[in-house]
Amino acid sequence: MSSNIPAPPPPVLPKPCTPGCCDEVTSTAHLKSKHKITSFYKPSAEQELIDTRQRLWDLEGWKEPPLLTVYQYLPSILQEGPQCGLVALAMAAAITRSSISVQVLLSEAQSRGFSYQGEMFSVDDMASLAQATLPGVSVKIIDGLQDNRDTVVHSLAQGAILLVPYDADRNHEPCCRKGHKAHWAAVCGALVCSNRCLLAARQGKSRRLMLWDYGQLTESNNNLIEFSPERGEDSSKYLLPPGGVRAGLCGRALILQQC
């Protein structure tokens, strides 16, 4: 970090969102910073968000710490094989105050003809799977993250989870590779600073809480147009919906909310 950037202040309690940042969305997380850092330090859900927020402040070099808007803790689950969508759904199940295993979701997806080995290339199929396996959860399909930004942020403020497909770079952040690295994430919070919106997300290839620019995630979601040539169009391994990746994932996402 450049030497002319002041050292970040200690973590503070979140403040209500200022006018113009997120349209009257207020904090739903209560954060405390009472943990000692050791080599064996395992942060609580609240401390993890504080650490993530401070890490973002350091990397971006903002003049002010990002303002916490909304956040809901989700457990971290690592994926085995092409099961990123099922892992994201299993993490999102925390909003029901219960849990469901990836294996149960896999069996249900296979029995319904949605997947062969855990791959989920259809938002519609993911919505049906969520409705079938998460009792008391309403499922809403979002067509166009940019046009529905207010809906997404306000839903997150009310405790919802956004399940979103995107192209994953090597560091698991959103990129644009035409859908060749299609991946799923569960978005569980939002941060704003200087009118910039970032989303807090978990995905199945890392235990770290991620922070992604809303616009960057939108661009990645909008570029899911084709199946990876490296995988080949092998119907015996991957189940694609009619119309392929473009019809199943491009520009689409899900909002899960407890009724």
Please identify every residue annotated as catalytic. 84
Structure tokens at 118: 């855990």
Which ranges constitute the DSSP H helices of the chain? 45-60, 84-92, 102-111, 123-133, 149-157, 214-222, 244-249
Residue 177, burial from CB neighbour count under 10 angstroms (0-12, 13-18, 19+): middle
In the three-class reduction of DSSP (H, G, I as helix; E, B as strand; rest coil), residue 159 is classed as coil
Q: How many Å apart are CA 135 and CA 259, to the nearest integer?
A: 9
Q: Which residue matches tokens 């650490």?
A: 51
In the three-class reduction of DSSP (H, G, I as helix; E, B as strand; rest coil), residue 107 is classed as helix
Tell me the C-alpha to C-alpha distance, in Å, between residue 195 and each of 22, 66, 212, 213, 215. Answer: 8, 10, 14, 11, 12
* φ and ψ at residue 162, rounded to 5 degrees: -100, 120
Give the closest residue to 202 by CA, choosing from 184, 223, 178.
184
Identify the DSSP state of 61: T
* φ and ψ at residue 221, rounded to 5 degrees: -65, -35
Q: How many Å apart are CA 3 and CA 22, to the nearest integer?
A: 31
